[in-house]
Amino acid sequence: MKPVMSFGMKRTRIDFAPPGLRRTLFRAPPRLVFLAPAIVLLLATAAGQGQQYLERQAELAALQAATAARTQAPLTQRSAAPAPHIVIAPAQASAVNAAVMQLNLPWRDLAEAVAGATPPSVALLSLEPDAKRRQLRITAEARSSDDMLAYVSRMQAEEGFSSVVLTRHEVMEQDPNRPLRFQISAQWGAP
Amino acid sequence: MRRRLGQSLRIGVAANGLSLVKIGRLFGSAPLALAEQPLDLFAPDALAPGLRMLFSDLPLAGWPVTVVLADELLRLWQVTPPPGATRVADLEAAAALRFQHLFGAAPAEWRISADWDADRPFLAAAAPNVLLEQLTAAAREHRFHLVEVQPHFVAALNGWRRERRPGAWFGQVHGGVLTLAAYEGRALVAVRSAAIPGGADRDWLDTHVAREALRVGAARPERLQLCGAVPLAWASSPGRLKFACSLLETDDDGWSELARLARSGSAA
């Protein structure tokens, strides 16, 4: 036989009374009344905490407003004063612009494009971008003039580069392998 | 009449009269019989004047009032939930169908309330709409709060539920009728009523319980717990070991039958 709790039986919920708050309260176990002081205490504490929180919130808002007003004041003074004190020389302006262009250079894209187009028979020596003219000067070495010419035509075919020209080439006599060192200039991007 | 914490009033409504009892649900205070009013409930419009006379000099406004309806005014039956019932509507339909089948009355004139359960048979009760409407009207008229309207037997089941033990049968003696609730473990098997013949003693009780066990197809109980106006002679005595019988109440506490109805479920 199953062990049973000796805890009485459950309520038979048969009731014809009209439903309502009174009925619900009446059905609650009467001993809950003894919990009422605890519930009241909890509610009072919660209300107190809430009140305190709201007060602090208001205080914080006031402080934030004061801080904002304090920092706003010099700003408005400064903005009120006109800015023509600073005169920028044309040379300075162009230097700044050049620096900005240099900084804005799509360096990673360029390097990737060039590296992607370079076959193993060609060794890249240097990449010198000129942001102002949107020109890239590539210095490389190849074993033979055929490799060099193939490389140039490949660069010409590369998208994103225009007017790829061989500007200079020479045979490195000092090197026992006698490599061919050459320089290409290429324009990038839309003018 | 001042109302203290946890106190409420109970009205007993029987076919032959009304009674009013004050009970306290806190601090274990004993119920107090306040008034009784004999009347013929089946006479037309008898309840409202009867209640007015019952409450004659008692201001009831604001009191929570529970009503105990005598079992002869109600129908009480057992409903087996239809297999695969998932909604309350299924159970309600099953209860209404069983009601019509058992009592042949139109469910429209009755209000059915039940201890709805989709898994096991449950107890259902039906009260006449007219009676319930009269009670609601009385609550409005006397400005009390009608918080509970229960069948007498259900009030006893609930009132004594802490004393009841799983597996024990529960019985109620009232007005010469013994109503028995047969249990198997915690599950209610059947509710049956029978008139108690004059001079019924413990032997009659033994035979009656054995017969009812056979009739409902349940095992004979090891214990029977009885409430209401139970004759003292029915208590367990050595030598009769068919089953133990414990009396939650006896008939010698000086309470009248009507007052006992209103008080049912709480010890005097």
pLDDT digits (tens, 9 = 90+) for A115-132: 888 888 888 888 888 877
Q: Note whether B149 contacts A23, CB cutoff 8 Å.
A: no
Per residue, what are the HEC states of chain B? CCCCCCEEEEEEEECCEEEEEEEECCCCCCCEEEEEEECCCCCCCCHHHHHHHHCCCCCCCCCEEEEEECHHHCEEEEECCCCCCCCHHHHHHHHHHHHHHHHCCCHHHEEEEECCCCCCCEEEEEEEHHHHHHHHHHHHHHCCEEEEEEEHHHHHHHHCCCCCCCCCEEEEEECCEEEEEEEECCEEEEEEEEECCCCCCHHHHHHHHHHHHHHHCCCCCCEEEEEECCCHHHCCCCCCCCCEEEECCCCCCCCCHHHHHHHCCCCC
Distance CA A111, CA B41 (A): 106
Burial of A13 (0-12, 13-18, 19+ CB in 10 A): middle
- Check CB contact of A19 with chain B, cutoff 8 Å: no
Q: Is a pLDDT exceeding 80 seen at residue A186? A: yes
- Check CB contact of A11 with chain B, cutoff 8 Å: yes
Q: Are B261 and B24 in contact (CB under 8 A)?
A: no
Residue at B217: amino acid letter: G
B211 CB-near residues (< 8 Å, 6+ apart): none
- Check CB contact of A12 with chain B, cutoff 8 Å: yes
B67 strand-pairing partners: B11, B149
Identity of the highest mean pLDDT range in A29-38, A42-51, A78-87, B31-40: A42-51
CA distances from A3 to A7, B162, B163, B223 (A): 12, 18, 18, 17
Q: Are B123 and B76 in contact (CB under 8 A)?
A: yes
Distance, in angstroms, between A48 CA and closest chain B CA? 28
| High-pLDDT (> 70) share of chain A, % | 90
Enter the tokens of residue B118.
Answer: 């989709």
End-to-end Cα spacing for chain A: 95
Q: Is a pLDDT exceeding 80 seen at residue B68? A: yes
**Partner B, chain A 142-181, Cβ-Cβ below 8 Å:** none
pLDDT digits (tens, 9 = 90+) for B130-165: 999 999 999 999 999 999 999 999 999 998 988 888
Q: Are A125 and A181 in contact (CB under 8 A)?
A: yes
Q: Is a pLDDT exceeding 80 seen at residue A76? A: no
Query: Residue A160, by phi and psi: left (phi above 0), alpha (psi -120 to 50) or beta?
Result: left
Residue B211's pLDDT is 93
Name the pTM for this structure: 0.66
Q: Note whether A17 contacts B146, CB cutoff 8 Å.
A: yes
Q: Are B145 and B210 in contact (CB under 8 A)?
A: no
DSSP annotation of A73 reads H
CA distances from A33 to A44, B6, B26, B161 (A): 17, 8, 9, 21
- Label residue B237 by pLDDT band (50, 70, 90): low
Q: Note whether B166 contacts A10, CB cutoff 8 Å.
A: no
A130 strand-pairing partners: A135
Of B8, B149, B185, the CB nearest to A15: B149
Q: How many residues in total does chain A contain?
A: 191
Q: Note whether A4 contacts B6, CB cutoff 8 Å.
A: no
Please say whether the dihedral angle defined by the alpha carbons of residues A5, A8, A9 and A10, taken in this order, is positive or negative. negative
Query: Which residue in chain A has the smallest CA separation from B111?
Result: A16
End-to-end Cα spacing for chain B: 21
Enter the tokens of residue B115.
Answer: 């201890």
CA distances from B15 to B63, B68, B95, B177, B263 (A): 24, 12, 25, 14, 16
- ipTM of predicted assembly, 2 dp: 0.82
Distance CA A183, CA A175 (A): 18
Q: Note whether A16 contacts B111, CB cutoff 8 Å.
A: yes
DSSP annotation of A107 reads H
pLDDT digits (tens, 9 = 90+) for B40-64: 888 878 888 899 888 887 888 889 9
DSSP H helices, chain A, are 21-27, 36-80, 90-103, 107-117, 145-157
- Label residue A7 by pLDDT band (50, 70, 90): low
